[in-house]
Structure 1
């Protein structure tokens, strides 16, 4: 089976499993008519493994660490870490309020070229904020990776801050979403 055929098959499987036509409200108050449900992807072990395997080809060869953003990026970064052999860290939006009080958990990250991983990129604001946190902590970030890129300016915003976005799929790659909410 060719790489193109495998990606086409994976795209159909991702759409069948995780693309939902139902209202979805963004943090900025905007509303989408369909959304990518990363929890459905993460809940399907075969689909998660196959997605991570496909994403592994997008990881730069000089990357030394993967960073998953809570919550959607965490299962992806765990699967991608297993597929690539690269260690991982997990990023909270805010430092934990108790215990370690850390915002970054996992492997040692200082000085390691880091790729940020998330499920969907829209405006790029969340990825940019996480890149800044990692950079301030000593982890050079020049790349980000996502399953799905929606054309809402994220690629351009990240590029302005020297972060290259690599997406497995864009919104244009997806077939028509299925109807309904969670099963």
Structure 2
């Protein structure tokens, strides 16, 4: 069941105007603060409800990526009953020295969960690392895919990207 107002509501909540320095060093008059929808329980629940429909059959674990994918994976886990896994940007250097907190990943089919994908760098790194640990990773579900329309930024690592919303949908909702 599609939520027809989700793009409009997320855009209204998360698109900020002002002067912002982006990761690239460029200065922009607009910024999309994804944490504003993740910190809003009603919006987060709506995203998770839509994302649930995108999960591929055979998913055994939901791999929430640090940091934005973790709250979504947690809500999605509660909705589906699938165990969550919390994937770090790099393995800890102390204690258990784990890359992923939660169940063992070896031989398990993991669907990655991310908030926003633009170039897919963090997802690409997580995919490669989890595969080194023996996980089967073929899909990523995300709240928002901001990559260019019709392009799969993660084709090089064989991932199917399944977004709830795209940049075009957010732009259209804005009017």
Would the TM-score normalized by the shorter structure come out above 0.5? yes
Alpha-carbon deviations, 1:62-120, whole Å to 9, x = none?
Answer: 11111011111110110111122111111111222332222110122221111111111
Contact 1:120 1:146 in 2 (8 A): yes
Distance change (3 Å), C-alpha of 1:45 and 1:136: same
**Residue 99 of structure 2 is aligned to residue 95 of structure 1:** no
Match in the other structure for 1:180: none
Segments of structure 2 that go 5 or more residues without pairing to the other structure are none
Normalising by the residue count of structure 1, what TM-score does the alignment of the two structures yield? 0.84
Segments of structure 1 that go 5 or more residues without pairing to the other structure are 178-183
In the TM superposition, 1:144-163 aligns within 5 A as: 144-152=140-148, 155-163=151-159
Match in the other structure for 1:176: 174
Out of 11, 14, 25, the residue aligned to residue 18 of structure 1 is 14
Give the paired residue count.
172
Contact 1:66 1:115 in 2 (8 A): yes
Aligned Cα root-mean-square deviation (Å): 2.1
| CA distance, structure 2, for counterparts of residue 58 and residue 125 of structure 1 | 21
Q: Which stretch of structure 1 is more off in the superposition, 127-136 or 156-165? A: 156-165
In the TM superposition, 1:33-48 aligns within 5 A as: 33-48=29-44
Q: How far 1:124 sits from its partner (Å)?
A: 1.3
**Residue 4 of structure 2 is aligned to residue 8 of structure 1:** yes
